[in-house]
Amino acid sequence: MDPLVHRPAGDLLEEIVGKGAEGFPRYLGHAGEAPRTYRLAVLLGGLSLGPGVVEAVREHLGRRESPEKWAVVRGLGELGHPEAEGYFARVLRERASADAMAVAVRCLGRIRGEKTLPLVLGALEQPLLVAEACGALGRYGTPEAVAALAARAEEFPAFQALARLGAADPDRLTAALGRGAPWTAVAAHGLGLLGDQARGELLLPLLASRDREEARAAFEAYARLGAPQGVAPLLQVAGRGLEAWSVEALGALGDPEAHGFLLAALAPPRPTGFWRRLLGGTKPGYADRRGVFRAVRGATDPGVLDALTGWLTAEDDPVALRELLGCRGLAEGGRGEALAGAWRGGGLTVRYAAARALLQAPSGAFLAEALDCLGQPGLLSLDGAPASTDPARVLEVLARDENPFLLLGGFLDSGLADPETLEADLAARLGTWSFPGEGAAARDGAGGAFLGAFGDARPGVRRDLGRLWTLLGEVTDRGDPLVELFLCHGGTHRGGLQRMLLRAFPAAVARFVQGRGDRHLPELDAVAAHLPAAGPAAASLGGVLDGARRALMAECRDIALLVEGSQRGDVVLIEAL
């Protein structure tokens, strides 16, 4: 494989942007077999280069046949880009080599163009292309594709595609459980997708299968069905050793016993210093805390939430803490003090995740601290600086000394964002030639000034950087714009935290006043005392608090009017108890 694909994402992204739109097609040639970080760098770079990429790709596709052209077309196809659909259609019509036609069928399945579906259906009649054609039709998933697969359900490729679609005949799946590898594993997977709990007991004997694929498929399928005969069989298997897929399956059950099992299986945090030398490093246990916290993020059981709360002070991995703090039950279970500890004591990424949780059920104290944060300078380097310090000058120096592409590459490798979802979103944007605008982030408060400084330090790629920042603001991960997570990950700028707080503050205040009356006005006034005196957000924040004050005053629960005497009409105010 070309060593190009093994380069750090930041270096690659910088090179792609530096080469410009004309050089972009070269990087598409490795998109099929390269690691995901490579594909992310290519997609980010291509979108940030703007509409010039369209012309460059089409010019490349119009060249004479060559290995370089084939690599570009194949890369587009592996990304599901419709620009390659016509080329692959010609490959099938002209009956090219078997290898080329197999690639064409697979890529057409990723593109899923309606006009080329007949060509994929026709590939079913060619023995060397049956497997690829069935896989492609499984990606289409249309009634016509399913009907064509059902007609060949006795053949394993078609049976596999139907099972993965959840469209296979239940009786056929049940019968296939006894056929052995590879039928049994596929049949078990298909039964899990059907949702027929009555067939769940058929999977239990397979949990002890010596065939690894069969045992895994049965485990996942039985869990997907909701463990109709109880979770004990799954926990017995998992007790012999957890793996990432079994953690995910157990977590998706939503069962308190399964969630408690996962948390109990976790290895304690790695000791440091004297204790590490004394205890000899890591204790036995399952090490992937990130995966476990992600798996139990839907927990509502008080005992499980208590165990998760204990991890808030023990966990020091920012990525794991983001997963842990994503558990909505922590915010709704009256555990504000534990969350507040993470909010006050963690790094920017941890504070960001803790604030997201606290905003779901905010206290007056937290809203006041959020306003304090919004009133601080975005750049952490300015916290202890004298009043005479010029923020613009500090930004200029920082931007000159740092490389924005390398910072972004480190962020992509950090694990904070879900790479699979990110790749799918970026590929969809490239597939519709949906390029971001230029420089929108530069208008977005202190964070925009920080990002704009990078563009000023690199005038040759300023426009492309502007598109890149805009793109990060438009693409989200679990509702969080990537630009916010990126700013927090860098550790030098709290702009991402401030962006999120400003965006979520109105809804949080509405939650705070919901169900309250005018007796709570002093609490709201205590929050308003922390309102920033100046700054671009001061007016909007003040408007939010004024609206909340009117809402509380409209709920007059503390005052009763009593008319005393029909002649005098005296009005006596009596404070309600």
Quickly list DSSP for 26-93.
HHHTTTTTS-HHHHHHHHHHHHHTTTHHHHHHHHHHTSPP-HHHHHHHHHHHHTT-GGGHHHHHHHHH
137-196 pLDDT, tens digit each: 999 999 999 999 999 999 999 999 999 999 999 999 999 999 989 999 999 999 999 989
At 270 the pLDDT is 55
Q: Is pLDDT at 84 greater than 70 in this prediction? A: yes
At 239 the pLDDT is 94
Q: Which of 219-228, 382-391, 456-465, 524-533 has the lowest mean pLDDT?
A: 382-391
372-419 pLDDT, tens digit each: 999 988 899 888 888 888 888 998 999 999 999 999 999 999 999 999
Mean pLDDT of the chain: 89
Answer yes or no: are the C-beta atoms of 9 and 38 closer than 8 Å. yes
Sign of CA dihedral 167, 171, 172, 177: positive
Going by pLDDT thresholds of 50, 70 and 90, the confidence category of residue 6 is confident
Q: Is pLDDT at 274 greater than 60 in this prediction? A: no
Going by pLDDT thresholds of 50, 70 and 90, the confidence category of residue 33 is confident
Going by pLDDT thresholds of 50, 70 and 90, the confidence category of residue 570 is very low
Q: How far is CA 478 from CA 268, 312, 346, 416, 419, in A?
A: 28, 20, 21, 11, 12
Q: Is pLDDT at 89 greater than 80 in this prediction? A: yes
Q: Is pLDDT at 277 greater than 70 in this prediction? A: no
Q: Is pLDDT at 50 greater than 80 in this prediction? A: yes
At 491 the pLDDT is 87
Separation of alpha carbons 29 and 544, rounded Å: 51
Separation of alpha carbons 243 and 186, rounded Å: 20
SS3 category, 311: helix
At 565 the pLDDT is 43
Going by pLDDT thresholds of 50, 70 and 90, the confidence category of residue 2 is low
Q: Is pLDDT at 252 greater than 50 in this prediction? A: yes
CA 212 to chain centre: 29
Task: State the average pLDDT over residues 241-249.
Answer: 96
Tokens of residue 87, six digits: 């080329």
Q: Is pLDDT at 10 greater than 70 in this prediction? A: yes
Answer yes or no: are the C-beta atoms of 62 and 96 closer than 8 Å. no
SS3 category, 339: helix
Other C-beta atoms lying within 10 Å of the C-beta of residue 222: 29
Q: Is pLDDT at 283 greater than 70 in this prediction? A: no
127-145 pLDDT, tens digit each: 999 999 999 999 999 999 9
Q: Is pLDDT at 446 greater than 90 in this prediction? A: no
At 19 the pLDDT is 95
At 267 the pLDDT is 79
Phi (first) and psi of residue 560, to 5 degrees: -125, 140
499-556 pLDDT, tens digit each: 999 999 999 999 999 999 889 999 999 999 999 988 778 889 999 999 999 999 987 7
Separation of alpha carbons 244 and 254, rounded Å: 17
At 112 the pLDDT is 95
At 268 the pLDDT is 75
Quickly list DSSP for 168-223.
S-HHHHHHHTTS-TTHHHHHHHHHHHHT-GGGGGGGGGGGG-SSHHHHHHHHHHHH
Q: How far is CA 97 from CA 14, 52, 109, 127, in A?
A: 37, 33, 18, 14
Separation of alpha carbons 199 and 402, rounded Å: 59
Helix%, strand%, coil% for the chain, nearest 5: 70, 5, 30
323-360 pLDDT, tens digit each: 999 998 998 877 888 899 999 988 999 999 999 999 99
Q: Is pLDDT at 253 greater than 90 in this prediction? A: yes
Going by pLDDT thresholds of 50, 70 and 90, the confidence category of residue 569 is very low
